[in-house]
Chain A
């Protein structure tokens, strides 16, 4: 029986690999794969190793403050164990906050049809599932070794790396399967699952608060470093010396040790120990008397629905919100600007993503930590410092990641293109209407961050005039900046619809990752090009206007006048750029021939 399962797995894996290689024949996928490999090699491997080398060799790294910074092999093991611990921690946190409805292992519909009705025990099915994951893990381990390995280090060192990756990925996979089954089973048996979730959530919040407190204490004794990575490594070094940390990290150290082994003797003992931990995890999964068939069926059906929806050119719907009705964001009258109809529609759609649970997950811990810090160890200055960090982080994330996260625009409506094209609207009106929702949401978040920042920096503002200047500038320039940012990915949808479709399909693979990287960098570059001339001009106007105004008015008023003129001219230039972009994209939309881009069932 095991032979049949092995045959199925090997044949599927071989065909999958052939399909992957065939896909690389398309230039866009090949380019994507190349970009991803180059990025991973230089951005991750080179950067991290370079930093470690710099820190170890620099005088600052050798001796900073009172504690010497040295990075022995043990400490590398410690750092890696920390990372694994954090990954496991967040995985557990996510499972507790958003547990699966019922225990389930991932099987395809075909596997369910063939295997679930076959005379196989539940343990055999689990073995088949683990075997399936092992194929992916082996391939990933090989890929990661090629990427992070060192050809000059010799054969043995690379074998240790490959097996080290295998141990790490296998342990994470086994833990994920085991904990998923365990938590789902507990929830099924629990009388009040909501109470269980609240309890688990509070527990996680307390743990997070404890971690933040520890981090803050650590930060206070950390000397200033030239770069954040050195600082983080210094703090990790301190953390690793603590007794309770050593205790918590012990099993994680066992799992990462084979990766850092240099000789066959040390590797053999480390590998044997790690295999021991894997065996414990394996037995944990096997001994869980969980009926996973129903859950697996639901998972497979969901995946098939998503695939079928994509294949037929329709939007895959999130099963968890399929039956949830969202309220009208405002009353939409029959007459008026048609672009507002799109804002209204997409604001309804965004509620599926931006719901109370997400807001609680995003803001809950922050508010909780700020409040608890205020009442315990912190001073009002500490709280203000934290608000400054939170507001700048929030603004940075919104600016850089916001356009990728908020996709309630042409990117999500590309599949409805035939409908949109029948609407009696000009192309630019549809483009404007489509991007309105992410612009409004991004602007609101940025404006909120700005106000938080201004409040937290209240000691730096000399008067109400200086404090109100950034807010005034924000009101004028935030919406056009967001519009410019969002025009780029929406332009990409109309210019490269195939790329947008592959992004919507959530297809994996290193080549798709590379395409997304190219896309994100391209977007940043395009926004920079659009903003740079307007920014330089706006700044020049600000300086000139402030200087002229200072000859007539007092300082505060001169600053406000400068900001008004500077931000106003920036706004004017950006509005010009936006108008041109909308006109061009509108024309592109009107000429867009979706029959050339999307698969059509009929002719």
Chain B
């Protein structure tokens, strides 16, 4: 569902993402981890079509992102770490606007059901300025799910959420994956990876240094030891320093 081949993103002489190749199938959740400055957000932004990449090939839901970006974007949803909302649109107006952008048929009942599911229906006529951070995050998710995306990208999805919000976000990601969505998420929170992700990819200085299922990556860095925590594996893989 997501195929990435030799993805390179350069800023002048600096290479932010270097020959990244990955593949994520429907129902899988790939966790993108790495130290600060490893290129996680840049990778996600390239895959979501937000920033152009220097070279490589990206296929989203069998559509080439470069040759047909509109069709590829129709199949994906990007959830940024910081909820970006229009200041003057209410919750309902955000949903109406998004429905039109994605051409959602019979949007009204779908909007109600999503807002109900995310428990923000009572906030339908509120502006972003009147919502808590968690509520804003929920609204961003509701907007993203409105067109039933096949591919989802989450950039630090738990940032700023309270314990209950974190629990619900994890459940939501897993539920979507079980329903057949393809998910890539980036996070510093290793416990999130353990609970949610089926696969993990470790990035360092823009390069993939390890990938596979959690068990595979653990086996590679545990050196025969048992009960090595993911945190320890991360430290060993990245050398324990920032990029």
Q: Are A344 and B100 in contact (CB under 8 A)?
A: yes
Identify which of B20-28, B122-130, B176-184 touches chain A: B122-130
Q: How large is the interface on A (under 10, 10 to 19, 20 to 34, 35 or more residues)?
A: 35 or more
Q: Are B93 and A328 in contact (CB under 8 A)?
A: yes
Say yes or no: is B3 at the interface (Cβ < 8 Å to chain A). no
Instruction: Name the contact of A422 in the complex, choosing from B38, B78, B89, B103 (C-beta under 8 A).
Output: B78
Q: Are B129 and A322 in contact (CB under 8 A)?
A: yes
Instruction: Find the residue from B70, B88, B90 having the highest chain A CB count within 10 A.
Output: B88
Identify which of A94-102, A330-338, A385-393 touches chain B: A330-338
Alpha-carbon gap, A342 to B226, bound state (A): 56
Q: Are A426 and B70 in contact (CB under 8 A)?
A: yes
Residue of A nearest to B11 (CB): A596
Instruction: Name the contact of B50 in the complex, choosing from A324, A344, A422 (C-beta under 8 A).
Output: A422
Per-position contact with B for A572-603: 1 when CB-CB < 8 Å, else 0? 00000000000000000011011110001111
Q: Are A315 and B87 in contact (CB under 8 A)?
A: yes
Q: Are A334 and B106 in contact (CB under 8 A)?
A: yes
Q: Are B86 and A345 in contact (CB under 8 A)?
A: yes
Say yes or no: is A325 at the interface (Cβ < 8 Å to chain B). yes
Per-position contact with B for A391-431: 1 when CB-CB < 8 Å, else 0? 00000000000000000000000001111011111100000
Identify which of B39-47, B192-200, B212-220, B227-235 touches chain A: B39-47
B residues in contact with A596, CB < 8 Å: 11
Q: Are A421 and B93 in contact (CB under 8 A)?
A: no
Say yes or no: is A34 at the interface (Cβ < 8 Å to chain B). no
A residues in contact with B39, CB < 8 Å: 603
Write the nearest CB–CB distance from B220 to chain A, whole angstroms.
Answer: 25
**B69-89 contacts to A (CB < 8 Å):** 69-71, 73-74, 76-78, 80-82, 84, 86-89
Q: Are A326 and B88 in contact (CB under 8 A)?
A: yes
Q: Are B127 and A338 in contact (CB under 8 A)?
A: no
Instruction: Name the contact of A424 in the complex, choosing from B40, B102, B106 (C-beta under 8 A).
Output: B102
Say yes or no: is B173 at the interface (Cβ < 8 Å to chain A). no
Q: Are A418 and B50 in contact (CB under 8 A)?
A: yes
Write the nearest CB–CB distance from A116 to chain B, whole angstroms.
Answer: 26
Alpha-carbon gap, A443 to B92, bound state (A): 29
Write the nearest CB–CB distance from A407 to chain B, whole angstroms.
Answer: 13
Say yes or no: is B134 at the interface (Cβ < 8 Å to chain A). no
Residue of B nearest to A413 (CB): B86
Alpha-carbon gap, A312 to B82, bound state (A): 9
A residues in contact with B69, CB < 8 Å: 424, 590
Say yes or no: is B135 at the interface (Cβ < 8 Å to chain A). no
Q: Are A594 and B51 in contact (CB under 8 A)?
A: yes
**A309-360 contacts to B (CB < 8 Å):** 312, 314-315, 317, 321-326, 328, 332-336, 338, 340-341, 344-345, 348-349, 351-352
Q: Are A325 and B87 in contact (CB under 8 A)?
A: no
Write the nearest CB–CB distance from A50 to chain B, whole angstroms.
Answer: 47
B residues in contact with A314, CB < 8 Å: 82, 84
Write the nearest CB–CB distance from B171 to chain A, whole angstroms.
Answer: 24
Alpha-carbon gap, A419 to B89, bound state (A): 15
Q: How large is the interface on B (under 10, 10 to 19, 20 to 34, 35 or more residues)?
A: 35 or more
Write the nearest CB–CB distance from A214 to chain B, whole angstroms.
Answer: 42
Q: Are B81 and A602 in contact (CB under 8 A)?
A: yes
Q: Are A600 and B41 in contact (CB under 8 A)?
A: yes
B residues in contact with A338, CB < 8 Å: 100-101, 103
Alpha-carbon gap, A174 to B119, bound state (A): 52
Q: Are B71 and A424 in contact (CB under 8 A)?
A: yes
Alpha-carbon gap, A338 to B96, bound state (A): 12
Instruction: Name the contact of B103 in the complex, choosing from A312, A334, A352, A591 (C-beta under 8 A).
Output: A334
B residues in contact with A421, CB < 8 Å: 48-51
Q: Are B130 and A323 in contact (CB under 8 A)?
A: yes
Write the nearest CB–CB distance from B149 to chain A, whole angstroms.
Answer: 10
Q: Are B51 and A593 in contact (CB under 8 A)?
A: yes
Per-position contact with A for B152-182: 1 when CB-CB < 8 Å, else 0? 0001100000000000000000000000000
Residue of B nearest to A336 (CB): B100
Q: Are B74 and A424 in contact (CB under 8 A)?
A: yes
A residues in contact with B74, CB < 8 Å: 424
Known contacts A322-B127, A349-B86; is A601 also within 8 Å of B81 by CB? yes
Q: Are A340 and B73 in contact (CB under 8 A)?
A: no
Known contacts A345-B86, A422-B78, A595-B42; is A603 also within 8 Å of B37 by CB? yes
Q: Are A424 and B70 in contact (CB under 8 A)?
A: yes
Residue of A nearest to B102 (CB): A424
B residues in contact with A418, CB < 8 Å: 45, 50, 78, 80, 84
Alpha-carbon gap, A422 to B47, bound state (A): 10
Footprint of B on A, CB under 8 Å? 312, 314-315, 317, 321-326, 328, 332-336, 338, 340-341, 344-345, 348-349, 351-352, 416-419, 421-426, 590-591, 593-596, 600-603
Kindly list the 8 A-B residue pairs having the minimum CB-CB distance in the complex, ordered from nearest.
A334-B107, A602-B41, A341-B100, A424-B73, A424-B74, A322-B129, A421-B50, A334-B99
A-B contact pairs, 5 of them (CB 8 A): A317-B129, A328-B96, A601-B81, A602-B40, A603-B40
